[in-house]
Structure 1
Amino acid sequence: MNLLAKRRGTQDGDRNVASHTIGNALVVHMRDSLRQEVRDLALGLAEDPEHQLVVVDIPADSSFSVWESAAKLLPRKRNGVRLVIGGRSRETTTLAGQWLSERLGRTIVAPDGSVMPGVDGSLFVDAGWGTGWVRFQPGKPPQRDGKRFPRPVWENAASFVDTMPTSAGSVAEPLPGGVWLRPRGPERILAAHRARLIETLPAQSEVCTVVLGCPGAAAVSLDDITRFWGWVPAEVRTRLRLLRFGPIAVSADMAFGQHVANAVGESVVCYAGIPVGSRTEPGIYLVRPDGNLGWRAFAEELGYSPQESGQQAAPELLRHREPVFGAEEIRPGAYRYAPDAVLEVVQSGLWLRPPQETANAVSIRTAEADAGRQLVLFDESSPESASRMRQLAEDVFGRLDPHTRRLSWVAPASSVVRRRIEVVGKAAGFIESARPSTPEPVTQVLQIAGPPSVEPSEAPGGVGSALEADTPTEVHPLRLESSPVRGDSGGPASVTDPGPAPIRATGVPETTAGMGTATVLDPPAAPSGPAGPRETATPRNATPPKGTAAPKGTAAPKETSAPKSGITEAPAGPGSGTPTAPAQPDRATAETPPRLENSATTPPGSPTRTEPAGELITITQPTPAPEAAALIPKRGLDEERTWLRRALSQEYSAVANSVGRVLSEHPGFQGALGRSSGRLLADAVAVRLYLSGAGDQVDPALRLGQVGPHVPFARCTVSGLSRLPSHRGAAVFSVTLTAREWELYRSRKLFSEWGFISALTAPCAKQQAEHDVDVLVWSMTSRRTKLLEPEGDATPDRVLFVPGTSFKLLDLVEPEEGKRGQIVLRELGAGEIDASGRVDRNRASLDDLAMSSMRRKMETWAESKGTARTADSAAPRFQTLPGLVRTDRTGE
């Protein structure tokens, strides 16, 4: 009957799912239910020469049979598939990508994060640190594939993929068309401008736009710009185009581009305004102080070279648009307008002058533009030619396009030198008072009174941690469906940009709490395999950081490592504890996380029932108090790192050099080492020590909710693991279980783990020979530890789940004669647990996709030859089921 029901469900799915080719994409949707916004999205998507574009529009709670039917509708081709799924959680999209890759035997590129449509059919995927497009290939671990489609040639540089801090008050945030160097807040100001930049700044293939500042917010400093410049590889710097969008803390004695060139010691290229329109040939529009558009620039790109102190030269005109039709260009930017006159493109507009150079030529070419008025200047230095130049200027004015003419004035060239605009002739408009054509010097710079406040935000690791302030990343989830901009009051934010290509702020990103502050989003680190000292490595006189002191009367927690065997089984009493859900990734702070729905809690150290002293039993893990949890505290980790260097000084010194060498030789750490080498090294050393024998006693104490020196050690380990590659897909290890442990796993579906869980990317033949149960876990956030494994005693295929990760039991099969037992778990994503700890029960499709993918992975593993993958010293780390702990009757 079950087989017939399954077959009938698949057939129903075939009848209910349909596909149509729309534009460059194949759209898979429920029959007779194709939404207009999905149709419009597919119709406008750019072509992908390497992959088949597939837009999926099926309900979020669709059954597994619907996904199976959708897979059957995809043509059988050899090239890969770029999957666009809107309105889904990150767990759904990544699971679907992995499952389709195994199901079809093809490369699948799927979004890990929210999808935002951009200019000319481009797509931008972002939801914070570590998110973007992910490439799934059969039999291979997933790989990040940038944030932008089509992918620009410059995106390979790490500086353009994740939000990075440039100082205590500013960050570099990725945009579809480049990077936004901006202050941290306030979010009520940032939100509308972010939406504008995401929707209108084109992602040019060869050019990366670096947007500087935010209108109405604090200024970014020259140090922020030079620091970011240093992160960019030398071969990519020639592709950068600097764009002044808001205030910059530089004086007005020369152009900001000249300040930057002098500071970095290299030539820089600046946009005169903001690119708008096509990804291949955008128009450049001046930016008003409030962020709205001004007139379309004639001088589009300006080059600045380093100058000696006190010297100033006119910028080089690198790109411009033709001012009038039919004029002969005699040199770049200069046209023969009449036998006795030259029409030259300058920053402030156009300049009519005699063929010979004039005395004030450098000052006129240096004068910066005013976004509110485009000037047609005429040279009046010679009384004989002044009247003629003014007449020709008025003629040029009449030939401008209507929009530019409405914002234009005719004025003598000397007025920009004097910084006064005198309107003459037939020019339109009236100027009430003389105003400088360049901004006033910025004298106030962002002041930071103490460290910035740190709020938790969503990150891709198993625990969403608010990490140290030197690696902030702000998250702004984006929606596939467009929506009007919302201000603080909830009303639509109006945008009144004049011009032929106005910017409309639609599809604004939905901001998360804490974005307006210094949100630290280093991806949550998934701690690696446990390792610990045979004796507690903390000296007795070492003082742990505040909030993590050892219990009164003790210098360190009592060792609680469980023996390999001899565990006494005991049935659970009615008050047996049930673990609570870990904090969601945007709430990974040292606070008690919400409880899982319908779960009881056990106070730290409380037994489930009375047993004879000295005997070990298995219980579900109690929920730790904030001071006993390995979650990253809001205040950061400076105290924990200081404690680590002092308390474990000998162990730290023994491995610091080798760890530092590994970090310096790995490309992924080079940029971070330049910004926070001391903090990064301390965290990496903690990971190495944890993976060695120094970490053996960490997990038992964490699982029992004990307070002691293991807590700061574990927190540093969590932070260090955040830099390591994540593992998405099946993970496995083998165990031998007691009757009590089978009973606990049969009695509930949800488990939370407060220590580190070790697993492998493929089965270990040695483990399987010693144990009769395989534990398979579908991982979303575990971390690969190969890079920091102990030298000479490594387990290179190990992955670690961080403390606070929750799991859902999908299947349980006890071992029989000649048949291995099996426990199948799925890591719960952040979107499945709300703030109160309730778990979304309507995620059956995720369970089905995970089960199907793991079955296929097991088939692949069965065909491969068994390999011993675990070092002998690390073997005990793989003997713990998530959510359980072995302890004596007192829980000590």
Structure 2
Amino acid sequence: MRSRLDQPHVHGYDGGILITRGDALPAGLVPARLPRESDRHTVVVAADPALDVAALITLLRRHLPVRCQSIRLVLSESGRAAAQTIADELGLEVIAPGGPVMLLPSGMLFAVKDEWRRFRPGGESADRHGVRQPPPDWERLVPLRLRALPPGLQATTIPAGLWLHDDVPPTTPLTGAMLSVPVDPARLTVVIGRPGHALPSESVHAALAALPRTLRRQMTLMPYGTDGGAAHSVAEWLTLRHRATIDVLAGVDGAAAEEASAGQGWGWRPFAQRTVYRPGNAPQIVQWLEPPLGVATTNGVHRANEDWEFEVIRSGLWLRPVGETQEQEFIRWLPIDEQHPLLVLGAAAVHQAARSLPLVSAVANQLPSDVSRRLRLAVTHPPAAADAPPWAVLLDRFGPLLGVIGPGQLVELPDPSKPSPHLENPSAAVVVPSPTPLPTSAPPPETRVVHAQPESPPSRFERLRLHQRRSSDGQPYLGAAFADWHLEMPHGWHPGAELRMDEAMFATTVPSPPASAKRPVSGPALVIWSVTAVRIDGSTSGAGERVRFPAGSRMRVVGVEHSEANGVTLALLRDVSRGDGHEPQPGDDAVLDRRARSALYRTVEAVRRVPATASWPRGPADGERMSQ
């Protein structure tokens, strides 16, 4: 005689039935959360051991309503054979999963690896019904498998949307963290990376570019662990190129603990929890943690006293006079650093050091210890030499000052107590110059290739406006410089190749006009992150400043763009010449290459935001597809 515990038992609920072994419900199953549909009956089969098809048909014939015309069969892999048999025997429509199915705590039914399929009596074709029930608004737009993925990248379907991760063994399972990502019914969520395995921004760009346009223009990005800023870079790129509105969340719940156990991950918990990117606007923080900085007002702004306030930005905090936002284009675009939060002081805070610096110390003392000990200070103007003593105290605590020289662009400044002659009166003006012809007297750049070294991964797109400074002859120029290549590149253009200039090369601080599609192109346009170039006196004009790279300068290719007709049309170079005897430490080159790529791509994007140069360096008439 079989035990009563082994007998199948049918539990009725509003809109469906639940089939189990014995009277007890499975652990954790709450009947109120079971799915319901207005136009069909839901049958949840949670019997262990499993029922055979004949026994299941007998139970359904007995317990389904008399006029039932359609059921959703919640039984893993029942869409392979059982569903068609049930449809034929009972004469009704059956929707069943082709693979495993999960009942999530939210009540959503999620089919793993395969979709829900509809089976009709008589063996009619089984059409597909997506993987989620109830389906979000974007369900039918998301392909089950992305076909054109970059090498090394995999896409896994999750309840909230897509999870992009690497293909490094061991194979990444569908983790509990992925299943718990909230589902937004109005917009797709894309989770990027996994703990300890960040993805290149370009790979993520390429994967999302293959999605339908409706999805690309409105989605949510969420990093899973440290992602090297990929989520924010992709958001900027989609906003600029596709006029999209992109939300970036702080990260997946539980990822910080996973990385911390492996000795990796964020060094601090960012204040910005949800950042929105919209066309033509700086990133807007719409959800944030409340740092203990005084009385909170609105929009993430915290009043320190009657005259000063702190605003939460994606990279940390911004100290400014109450209501002043003149430098927002500089400051709100500063990229987030996974190891170091920034406390940014605007021009007014730097010039009023006696009033602002005590606030800096007070705020640092109030912040959590994991934040305050990693805090770095950034300024939009170098401090005056007369203010060196109070700055020296802060530099001993927080390290060298960082200077903001453009939106999203930082350099390390010298100690204010030891002023540099080149930084006494810098101009912080940031403009978007219109490309103009090079002066007719400008000698053409001449370069020669010495050798090539392989491989440095391509970089990310980020937003930047071009940076210029007025100066006299011989002063160094730090920033983006534009030139043209007229010689052959025998080893081919690819990231990692190194060049040596046997003769001096001339460049300008604004680009030349786009090349016409009707004339041949002798070589790619060059955008160089300059370290050793010097300004040429009297060269400031509508074409910007002229700068000169001395003979013997060395450059490394950090990024390229191709066109179908002309091959490489744009090359991004980093000036790797060393004039100070400093030898790079292991890993320095990779970090500097990444920073240079980021700044140069943002420079290119600034040029392309102008309608007349939207396809620079090629003209708008060529209509060629460009790829990075």
Larger strand share, 1 or 2: 2
Larger helix share, 1 or 2: 1
Rg larger in structure: 1
Greater RCO (CA < 8 Å, at least 6 residues apart): 1
TM-score by length of 2: 0.50
TM-score by length of 1: 0.37
